[in-house]
Structure 1
Amino acid sequence: MNMFDCEDSKNSDTITLEEEDFAQELKFGENILMGNVVGARPTLYVIQAYVSKAWGHIGQPAVHYFRKGWFSSYFATKEAMNDVLKQGPWMVGANSLVLKNWSPFFSHEMEKVTKVPVWVLFPGLDPYLLSDKVLSKIFRKLGKPVFVDPATTTKAKLSFAWVLIEIDVSKTLPDHVVINIPYFGPVTQKVVNEWYPFFCQGCVKLGHRVDSCKSQKIKEAAI
């Protein structure tokens, strides 16, 4: 439908949208990753150069500046986007690059960002616990699963499960979860993460610990 062929709504003060009005754009957005370099504001040129060098072997996404330090990367395929997530975490110099899937509810306010995708390993997981239902229950105990490593989904590796989970980093990641299994009872499963972003409980922001927080030190000095 041509944008000029829509029904005339000039007689109403309210514009009412239906989901079908932007369904195509939502589909387009499924291949977009939003990125923010924590603690830095690199230029678009720097980000484009970084993406070209770091992700060029995976796929060359279209990179654009969004707002307030966020940039968007559109990938031609979802597979390429997932490969970028899979091969993280990524660093821009000494700063962590936070990547989040775009959604209509995406907030560009970095101060409100506490949920970050983190790769989590569950070592020594018994093979009979590798069913989709069991893994979903285990993963969701920590957060929202974003991407499961193919070796886990295909059961190519029967000694562990590896998954990218969107975790609330304002909370401490547990080093284990307890699984109550029929006939066996409660079993303790180890949780390992290779990278966990710094989060300051003082100013409630990503990128540093409370012991190095400038805002917290100013508050303490004023007391």
Structure 2
Amino acid sequence: MKIAVLGGTGLIGSQVVRNLAAAGHEAVPHSKSTGVDVIGGQGLDKAVAGADVVVNLTNSPTFDEASPAFFQTSMDNLLASAKKGGVGHAVILSIVGADQVPELDYYRAKVLQEEILAAGPIPYSIVRATQFMEFMDDVLSWTADDSTVRLPATPIQPIAAKEVAAAVAEVAAGAPLNGIHNIAGPEIFPLDELGRITLSHKGDNRTVVTDPTAGMFGVVKGDVLTDRNAHLAPTRYADWLS
């Protein structure tokens, strides 16, 4: 199959392209660096024309109140180009529990992206993943100073990016789900505990202070960012750190 991967040069997209190519598909990466702009529309018709599948892994440059506009415009442009180009399957990557955290602008924006895709003219699949292991350093940096890192005890089920990419590639190569496929890591941790594990592994002597209001995950209620019934990837966090 010919598969156009928008956002195909990023952390997940580049691995999706490699996985699809290894499986014998013609996977073509597209991004701003290759002349494709999902907001302005430049190069989009050409990028998806004749593709059997389009995978959209482009992401909002910010996580704030501007993010819904990004997903509205990018999805409207993508679906118009995909319909014109005869695409038979559209795939996006979203977040487990996104619809349960309306307090976060970015999560509301991802739900909007899902809704636009589901209401659109192209058969579709949505892959929802839990938090990437690779993002833990960013999470720590949001609420850190020289001596402490403040984190809530929000339950998190981290998954390795390579396993997210594998799942996206597998879904893209299959028949449209016209629904959602959830994927998650094999373990659930309170976020503050995960922070302590991460700092200890790095030899970082800062103290993790449990603060239920700290950072973006402070608004998350309960265990909505986990899914024990998801397809569980095999990589454990300690093995990933090592």
Return the TM-score normalized by structure 1.
0.28
Bigger strand fraction: 1
Greater RCO (Cα-Cα under 8 Å, separation 6 or more):
2
Give TM-score scaled by structure 2 length: 0.26
Which has the larger helix fraction? 2
